Structure 1
Amino acid sequence: AQGEVKQVFIDRAKEVKAPIIFAEEQIHFRSTQRNDKGWEFDSPEFPHLFGELSGLCQEKNAATVLTAVGQLRNLGYNISDQSVYDAFAHVTSLTGLMGRWQQLESSPRLICDTGHNTGGIQYIVRQLQNESYQNLRIIIGMVNDKDISGVLAMLPQNAVYYFTRASIPRALPEERLYELAIKAGLTGKCYPSVQQAVEAAKKESRPDDLIFVGGSTFIVADLLKTMLSQQ
């Protein structure tokens, strides 16, 4: 909620006569700590709150959730502290949520994330910078109504890219994505499906490489569908 974007929400709230609450103005963590298992958030109301989602964006998401909990309680909803602790600690099993900085394999590591715009990609790039690996391999595809050039400009140039497309009509053709990526200084090859791109990346990888799959929720969906069918 910054700059022009924040003002859009403020103006819309006024139009529909709705209250508007910004999480960063409501929740102030005394401390936050992230590790491979997730996050620990410490706030006055919820000390030592463990969240199993490990993505960097979860610090802001946690503030949003806790703000929503507070608003619902003000409206009379009975949400116990224990429910909040349980939900943060077991969100994937409780909801079936998948694809948020999710590690699917370990040698080489295969990680996916559904971040698909510049706001989400900035966190993914920061997280990739914090990871250890021999070679970084990125499997990416996008839909044609996103800020494709903006996303490509943010991606690391020291990675090997596998340009592909999701199995939906809105998917940007992998050849077109490749053309835009070359202009952004990225190098790689094209693959007509996510499965073929993943197979190629695995074949070329060493055990200590990192394979990241993303760029679109639909890319991650194709990946998960393929991997679940193989189990």
Structure 2
Amino acid sequence: MSMTYEEALQWIQERLKFGIKPGLERMEWMLGELGNPERRLKSVHLAGTNGKGSTLTYMRAILQEAEYKVGTFTSPYIEVFNERISINGTPISNEDLAELVAAVRPVVEALEETDLGAATEFEVITVMMFYYFGIVNPCDIVLIETGLGGRFDSTNVVYPVATVITTIGYDHMHILGETLPAIAGEKAGIIKPGIPLITGVEQPDAYEVIQETAAAKQAKVYKLGEQFAVEHTESSASGEQFHFQCPFASYENLCISMRGAHQVQNAALALMTVFYLKTYQSFLIGEEHIREGLRGAFWLGRFETLSTEPLVIIDGAHNPEGVHSLVETLRTHYSDKRITVLFSALGDKKADRMIAQLETVADRLIFTTFDFPRAVSPRLLAAHCRKEHEVFDDWQEALEQVLPSLTGGDAFIITGSLYFISEIRAYMLQT
């Protein structure tokens, strides 16, 4: 049954009503009906509280420079829905998405007649991704980002050639657990028997859980700071510079354009994974591919400059760890600026901890909201604030007041939910 792109997108998004359902049974059933396309992929599986998207982007950029065809699966989207399933950074076409829905829809609807119940939106998109990369448009490698957690995430039916756990932090605690070890246990669920793990997890209690899981599954661990290392040497207007060393190679004076010390760590995780692929999976990757890939890598909505005059930056810092990285990056790069922060968040986040950190760098702090089911009232956000602030129910009104007042000495930082900055980004690029 053929469908238009608009009909296909509507059908997918109608499944938001089924919410979040952790578990792999529905995925396994649907993929079995489709011939298990996930078994045809050569893939890297990434989990973590923060840094998944940036780490994946560095890997993709390096592999692209080496002329590999790289599929990616990421979430949420920033510009267009289709970007969640991309090849070499280009979202699949509207036609391909519509054909994917037509292909998987009979199976998805057949699932509803079983005791397993209806598939969620994310499960459907994940099935579409596996079908696309496994059957419709195979790639040399597919980089797959978990949506939530790891152990019961819909993507965790894949058997990759390497796994990556970037960081552990307090996010989605109502689902993943209240403590770092509990959250780490969920993330560690992506570790497969005999498959190596590359990780940047720092907290000893969280890393212990990951290490124990890896040992039980005989998965070799490459830990940042132990089996491989990075030295951040310089921050400048053009980005960050660093040295990198691992068991397979060492490089000096590598450069990335994405700013912040946390991006150096993300790049190190990507490099370690790339060197594993080069050493054990026969990927042909040279020094020029590494240097050019890192330098050119860019991830929408991550400390992204929308305007230089006036200076407007958006950053999807949507949890305490993300805000900490944002604050440190602002201190490093814009300590000479008067900083105005516009902030909005979802209800399942630690808004009090995020706001406390933003207060330390913001000369002007503004709270707002946006049209999204879990978006928090700006007054509830403001209740956590201990310094003078402003509240706007309409974020467009906030922009209209702030933007004309900015001078060369100002930096306007728009941050919080990725869904929020996606709206802001689209609006500002159109006006």
Q: Given the two structures, how large is their TM-score scaled by the length of structure 2? A: 0.48
Q: How far off its partner does 1:129 sit?
A: 2.4
Give the % identical residues. 22
Deviations 1:159-186 (A, max 9, x none): 21111123321211212111222xxx13
Cα distance in 1, alignment partners of residues 368 and 209 from structure 2: 34
State the match for 2:383 in structure 1.
179
1:125 aligned onto 2:330:
no
> Where in structure 2 are the equivalents of 1:52-63 lying within 5 Å?
52-63=257-268
Does structure 1 residue 26 correspond to structure 2 residue 257? no
Question: What are the residue-to-residue correspondences of 1:8-157 with 2, within 5 Å?
Answer: 8-14=209-215, 18-29=219-230, 32-43=233-244, 45-81=250-286, 82-92=288-298, 97-130=299-332, 131-133=334-336, 135-157=338-360
Higher RCO, Cα 8 Å, sep 6+: 1
AA aligned opposite 1:83: H
Q: What is the rounded CA distance, in whole Å, between the counterparts of 2:356 and 2:323 in structure 1?
A: 10
- 1:42-93 Cα offsets, whole Å, 9 max, x none, are 235223322111223112112111111122223314141222222111112x
Distance 1:27 1:193, change over 3 A: farther
Contact 1:194/1:219, CA 8 A, preserved across alignment: no
Q: Which amino acid aligns with 1:227?
A: M
Secondary structure, in 3 states, of the residue corresponding to 1:25? Answer: coil
- Is there any run of 5+ residues in structure 2 with no aligned partner, and where? 1-200
Counterparts of 1:79 and 1:23, CA distance in 2? 24
- Structure 2 distance, partners of 1:79, 1:34, is 30
Q: What is the deviation of 1:145?
A: 0.9
Residues 55 and 100, structure 1, Cα contact 8 Å, conserved in 2: no
Q: Secondary structure at the match of 1:154?
A: helix
Letter in 1 for 2:234: Q
Instruction: Decide which structure has the larger Cα Rg and report it.
Output: 2
Partner SS state of residue 80, structure 1: coil
Equivalent AA in structure 1 for residue 344 of structure 2: G
- On the 8 A contact 2:222/2:228 being kept in 1, the answer is no
Give how far 1:33 is off: 1.6
Gaps of 5+ in 1: none
1:112-153 Cα offsets, whole Å, 9 max, x none, are 211222212112112222314453210001111111111122
Q: Say if 1:75 and 1:167 are closer, same or farther in 2 by CA, change over 3 A.
A: farther
- Say what the alpha-carbon RMSD is for the aligned residues: 2.3
Aligned-pair CA distance for 1:17? 5.1
Q: Tell me the residue number matched to 1:166.
A: 370
Task: Compute the displacement of 1:211 (Å).
Answer: 0.8
1:30: Cα distance to partner?
5.4
Q: In the aligned structure 1, how far is the partner of 2:322 from the partner of 2:378?
A: 21
